[in-house]
Structure 1
Amino acid sequence: MTVRPSGLLAAVTAAVLLATTTATTATAAAGNGPHGPKPKGQRIGYFTQWGPDSSAKRVQKTGQAAKLTTINYAFGNVSAEGTCFEANIEGQGYAYDDYQRPFTAAESVDGVADTPRQTLKGHFNQLRKLKAGNPQLKVVISLGGWTWSKYFSDAAATDQSRKKFVSSCVDLYIKGDVPRLGGAPEGGPGAAEGVFDGIDVDWEYPGGGGAEGNVDRPEDGRNFTLLMAEFRKQLDEYAAQKAKTRGEHPKPRHYLLTAALPASSVVADRLEIPKVSASVDFINLMTYDLHGAWETKGPTNHHANLYSDPTDPDTRQRSADKAVDHYARLGLPSRKTVLGVPFYGHGWTGVPAGDRNGLYQKATATAPDLTYKELGAHPGTTYVDRNHGASWKYDGNTFYTYDNAEILTAKARYARRHDLAGVMIWALDGDDARGSGIAALDRGLRR
């Protein structure tokens, strides 16, 4: 579920921001100072630029920061010219939220307000502050997503276009050369340096199947391989160049390179998984959205079940485990496999109880998606199928498929048991104010 909804350019809700707490105090409370425990396994969480509850301060106060290894900032767009870019254009770019919006002392991670002439503000500056208080934490820019993958195919089409695209992304996000826009003081060469520790490619999807209007080509699978190799090459070259300039010996810094890939075997089969694996640190499997609102009249079904249910009326009997196994058979090493988990649920209304409390029943309509925290307070009874790693909530009429805390812990244990790299969350702002979703994953990864 990687969508950037439209909205006013400056619309970032601050209602969830609480009283000022310094990053130092919050970090000490979380037991995550420079000598604090390092989290076990990869814990990668998407931070949505547009979410009403998306703030670095909230990530700190809920305890999420101490339990994460990587934050994926969603999203960077790909232009029609095949470059990474920043702009303030509705539906295309939200530079104001990224690095221009001033944060007050009450909103800021460290309790310090932005100053008028500061060259970096917005979420970028707050995430940089968040990292300063959480030494284990890295921040990665995620490119594309459902809404902004339109021109990936063009950017990856030729050797020249790949070099141009990757170079623009490295300049913008790794070197931090964000542009000054509209006479504003923010931006300039190196203004955002140190914010991002790598790049995540969320091309949805090579070869087609993404949003309507996306460009796609039969050769996208091969070009995806070459694009990831080009990212790896340029990131390594920049790291070596920077180390040499600074006299760092003997080993230059390593920049992360990851990719988000769907649970769909159709898309997976188009890709050269062993070759892609050679370029990336991890592949984040989007093992959710297996069923959902697009199936308007049902039948109701799980959207992120861990194991396939033989009684599932969908003959494909989709599951996270099935997707993990398919990628493994294609050549994805377990140590580079990250299991995706959702902090949201899909719903249907007009659902009869049947013999399984609303599961696998026809519906009259879909219900709005709800986050993990919203579903915790939603009326109804939560049911858990431990055999197949799934949970749902049903009130006699409305059915929601989602992962409750017990299932989140079970999935984290699955990742450890199968020697996977860890877990990935879409998205951090879906968690509740206590960070109980992240805590549930943490329990599973530590056992």
Structure 2
Amino acid sequence: MKALYLFGILASILALTDGVTFCYYASWAVYNHWGGEFHTSDIDPYLCTHLLYAFAGLNPDTYEVKILDPSVDLCIDDGLCGFSNFTALKEENPELKTLLSIGGWSEGSKNYSIMASDPDYRAAFVSSSVNLIQQYGFDGLDLDWEYPTQRGGTPKDKENFVTLLEELKAGLGDLLLTIAVSAGKPTIDKSYNIPGLSAVVDYVNLMSYDFHGTWEHFTHANSPLFAHPDDEEHGLEFLNVDFAVQYWIQKGCPPEKLVMGIPLYGQGWSLIDTNQTGFFAPAKAPSHGIDMGYYKLCMGQISSDDWVIVHDESMNEPYEYNLSKDNLWISYEDPDSVRLKAAYARDQGLAGCMVWSMNLDDFNGNCGRPYDLITSITEELAK
């Protein structure tokens, strides 16, 4: 039974001791309300081995790196000094590594495709990026291009991406270079020369989440560790963490460079038939926006008895539903499920785990200990 995975494989540990924990920080969390406001001052500098500041962007006119929110990222005009405060966390923990992440979903792909195709544009991007991270004391750069060849890109992006990474690494010297990559098989096949990029970067951050969501008309897990028993008959056998991890390794990514992503947020639907409340239940997008961060979901469970929490024996992730609140059905992670994922990463000999994003954890400890999900991950990696 896959739900007993953690206990069944302890005898065959490949073993990493104290794997890395990459924690993305979403800088726009300073604008959150209702208990979700999060600043660099809320970061525990001992919680993660690597902190990644999301995001900087790309100037479509000059193809240099672009500051996306100066009032948050910089100190000028009474700004919040995000960059400086972020890297200053190393004064408290000298072992901490801080990286600036460039890109993200909202940045799109088209301009990155244009930049990567032209030697002069690449040079402008590399030079400006290196200067920026050196200016603010970052230990490296994380490139989150979503995705080469996709969303306005071209087939040449697959090789141009490797060329861009080679030039970035040359410019960075001893500083770190990491990338965030897709876990979806169609994108993996189209977008990545895996041996080529793996030879250049220090770590590959696998975004192994958002396998399922409201673009589908049925309920499922956001980040299933393994396939559901009924996935194959629905053609969904590739949409799980285990497949993505093994596929990246099979295609040429050294496991010791692969960092497995874990979401600290849920995916939710509204049930169409309240008599069907399990996986593959007919569902639609909720009629109003919902904060799916773990800090919010756990508080909802504490404040209302209407939530039914289910741990399906065929899966490793919990879900909850509430028939008195828009018939909501939410797949999420809890301390037990993230431990299972961290144990998988450790036992597969991976570099460690990555989370998106640390500000979505229960950082104030309203439901238990502060940062319960990330702490559970780091504890499991260290076993």
Normalising by structure 1, report the TM-score: 0.72
1:300-315 matches, within 5 Å, as 300-312=219-231, 314-315=234-235
Which structure has more helix as a fraction of its residues?
A: 2
Higher RCO (CA < 8 A, seq sep 6+): 2
Instruction: Tell me the distance in 1 between the aligned counterparts of 2:206 and 2:66.
Output: 26
Larger mean CA deviation between 196-205 and 430-439 belongs to 430-439
Whether 2:357 is the aligned partner of 1:430: answer no
Equivalent residue of 1:156, what SS?
helix
Instruction: Tell me the distance in 2 between the aligned counterparts of 1:171 and 1:408.
Output: 37
1:96 equivalent among 59, 71, 87: 71
Distance 1:353 1:259, change over 3 A: same
Distance 1:126 1:255, change over 3 A: same
1:56 equivalent among 14, 24, 40: 40
- The C-alpha deviation readout for 1:120-144, integer Å capped at 9, x for no partner, is 9611121122111012211101011
Whether 2:116 is the aligned partner of 1:160: answer no
Verify the 8 A CA contact 2:218 2:284 in the aligned structure 1. Answer: no
Instruction: Tell me the distance in 1 between the aligned counterparts of 2:244 and 2:118.
Output: 30
Aligned partner of 1:378: which letter? G
Instruction: Tell me the distance in 1 between the aligned counterparts of 2:299 and 2:314.
Output: 25
2:6 is matched with none
1:443 is matched with 379
1:282 is matched with 203
1:125 is matched with 84
Aligned partner of 2:176: which letter? L
2:102 is matched with 143
Verify the 8 A CA contact 2:264 2:357 in the aligned structure 1. Answer: yes
Instruction: Tell me the distance in 1 between the aligned counterparts of 2:274 and 2:382.
Output: 37
Aligned partner of 2:170: which letter? K
2:293 is matched with 371
1:207 is matched with 149
Verify the 8 A CA contact 1:346 1:369 in the aligned structure 2. Answer: no
1:70-85 matches, within 5 Å, as 70-80=50-60, 81-85=62-66
1:192-341 matches, within 5 Å, as 192=136, 194=137, 196-209=138-151, 215-236=152-173, 254-270=174-190, 271-295=192-216, 298-312=217-231, 314-317=234-237, 318-341=239-262
1:412-427 matches, within 5 Å, as 412-427=342-357
Aligned partner of 1:282: which letter? Y
Instruction: Tell me the distance in 1 between the aligned counterparts of 2:163 and 2:275.
Output: 50
Q: CA RMSD in A?
A: 1.9
Larger mean CA deviation between 361-370 and 42-51 belongs to 361-370
Instruction: Tell me the distance in 2 between the aligned counterparts of 1:199 and 1:59.
Output: 19
Aligned partner of 1:72: which letter? L
In structure 2, stretches of 5+ residues that fail to align are: 1-16, 302-306, 365-369
Whether 2:169 is the aligned partner of 1:169: answer no
Verify the 8 A CA contact 1:371 1:431 in the aligned structure 2. Answer: yes
Instruction: Tell me the distance in 2 between the aligned counterparts of 1:262 and 1:79.
Output: 23
Instruction: Tell me the distance in 2 between the aligned counterparts of 1:343 and 1:437.
Output: 7
2:47 is matched with 67
In structure 1, stretches of 5+ residues that fail to align are: 1-38, 87-92, 103-115, 177-191, 210-214, 237-253
User: How many residues in Structure 1 have an aligned counterpart in Structure 2?
Assistant: 340
Instruction: Tell me the distance in 2 between the aligned counterparts of 1:364 and 1:199.
Output: 38
How far is 1:384 from its partner? 2.2
How far is 1:203 from its partner? 0.1
Identity of aligned residues (%): 31
